[in-house]
Amino acid sequence: MSTPGTLYIVATPLGNLGDLSRRAGEVLAKVPVVAAEDTRRTRGLLSHLGARPTLLSFHAHSGENRLDGLLDILRSGRDVALVSDAGTPSVSDPGTDLVAEARTAGIPVVPIPGPSAVATALSAAGLPADRYLFLGFIPRKGKLRSRLLSRAAVEEWSVVFFEAPPRLLALLEDLIPLTGPGRTAVVGRELTKMHEEIRAGTLGELADYYSAVPPRGELTVVLGGTGEPAAEPDRTEDAVEQATTLLAEGLSRREVVQRLTQSLGLPRNEAYKLVMELP
């Protein structure tokens, strides 16, 4: 049985080619296969390096066949470099699946660190970055979007989003009712590129600006935190609903108390009191 190849996780520039590390360049120049989120963008980078590996697309819609194919290449003993459109792979892209499967298969995984849009935006935002919440691209609509925005609004620490230009204004406007128009935020646009713009202001100011000047390019948004721990959610309504359902299914009150402590994390005495007070 042949020794498996190595999966390299290679961070590439956000825009400025000068940000590519020497180590990343050496890996991309020597590996026989590069798996890229967008082969057109990566081909330009490889051309800059004078590298000519086999270039395979690997993105969110590639499917299991491409994933299995890359694993077969690695099992055969050939190295593969995974790159995203820009920045560090496996952050808001499908690289996580490949890394997880490679580890399960006993294939060596070696990170080649470098540029990250998250770290770049935080470093220039002027907002606390010792702790932060990263939400990436959030859904355009639905319950998950509402839940994530509500979470962001009450988060103690800075919150980082990725967003597409046509959706930036909706993000800002949807946050305002939850945080108030005065919450500080920073929009990083085209980071490290020729038309880089880092604009700070309140959500209200930023919404006004981008409604008049539609953004272009890649965007990273940093929302200032509240600076205070979020209040514990009131779980009473959920507990009553769940307990009522379980009692109707024939469970004993003791069993319902146990279920509530497990599913909702309620203290036993609180769950006991709630269940015993139900008709």
> What CATH number does residue 91 fall under?
3.40.1010.10
> Residues 138, 202: one domain?
yes
70/95 Cα distance (integer angstroms): 11
The count of domains in the chain is 3
> Residue 79 is encoded by which pair of tokens?
């190295």
Residue 1 falls within a domain, yes or no?
no
Confidence of residue 111 (pLDDT cuts 50, 70, 90): very high
Residue 228 falls within a domain, yes or no?
no
Cβ-in-10-Å burial (0-12, 13-18, 19+) of 64 comes to exposed
94/200 Cα distance (integer angstroms): 31
> Residues 143, 110: one domain?
no
> Residue 190 is encoded by which pair of tokens?
């085209």
> Residues 47, 99: one domain?
yes
> Residues 107, 149: one domain?
no
- Which amino acid is residue 26, in one-letter code? E
> Residues 13, 107: one domain?
yes
CA distances from 267 to 252, 262, 279 (A): 18, 9, 21
- 8-state DSSP, 37: S
Output phi, psi for 55, to 5 deg. -110, 120
279/152 Cα distance (integer angstroms): 38
Q: Of 114, 141, 173, which residue is a domain's last?
A: 114
- Which amino acid is residue 40, in one-letter code? R
Question: What is the model's pLDDT at position 191?
Answer: 97
277/220 Cα distance (integer angstroms): 49
Residue 153 falls within a domain, yes or no?
yes
> Residues 132, 184: one domain?
yes
Mean pLDDT value of segment 114-121:
96
Which residue did the predictor score with more confidence, 268 or 21? 21
> Residues 144, 92: one domain?
no
Residue that has been written with the tokens 């932060």 in this structure: 132
188/95 Cα distance (integer angstroms): 24
Residue 265 falls within a domain, yes or no?
yes
Confidence of residue 61 (pLDDT cuts 50, 70, 90): confident
CATH number of the domain residue 123 falls in: 3.30.950.10
CA distances from 35 to 32, 89, 226 (A): 10, 11, 40
Global confidence as pTM: 0.80
Residue that has been written with the tokens 């967008």 in this structure: 38
- 8-state DSSP, 150: H
- Which amino acid is residue 8, in one-letter code? Y
Residue 213 falls within a domain, yes or no?
yes
Chain segment 172-197, per-residue pLDDT in tens: 999 999 999 999 999 999 999 999 99
Does 99 have pLDDT greater than 70?
Answer: yes
Torsional sign, CA 235, 237, 241, 243: positive
Q: Of 114, 143, 178, which residue is a domain's last?
A: 114
Question: What is the model's pLDDT at position 262?
Answer: 84
Mean pLDDT value of segment 156-163:
97
> Residues 219, 157: one domain?
yes
> Residues 73, 31: one domain?
yes
Residue 231 falls within a domain, yes or no?
no
Chain segment 200-235, per-residue pLDDT in tens: 999 999 999 999 999 999 999 999 999 998 776 667
Residue 140 falls within a domain, yes or no?
yes
Mean pLDDT value of segment 22-40:
96
Residue 43 falls within a domain, yes or no?
yes
pLDDT mean across residues, the chain: 93
Question: What is the model's pLDDT at position 237?
Answer: 82
| Residue 153 · residue 182 · CB < 8 Å | no
Q: Of 81, 114, 147, which residue is a domain's last?
A: 114
> Residues 265, 251: one domain?
yes
Cβ-in-10-Å burial (0-12, 13-18, 19+) of 84 comes to buried
CA distances from 23 to 77, 115, 118, 163 (A): 21, 13, 21, 30
> Residues 211, 240: one domain?
no
Range of the domain at 268: 236-276
182/176 Cα distance (integer angstroms): 8
> Residues 82, 148: one domain?
no
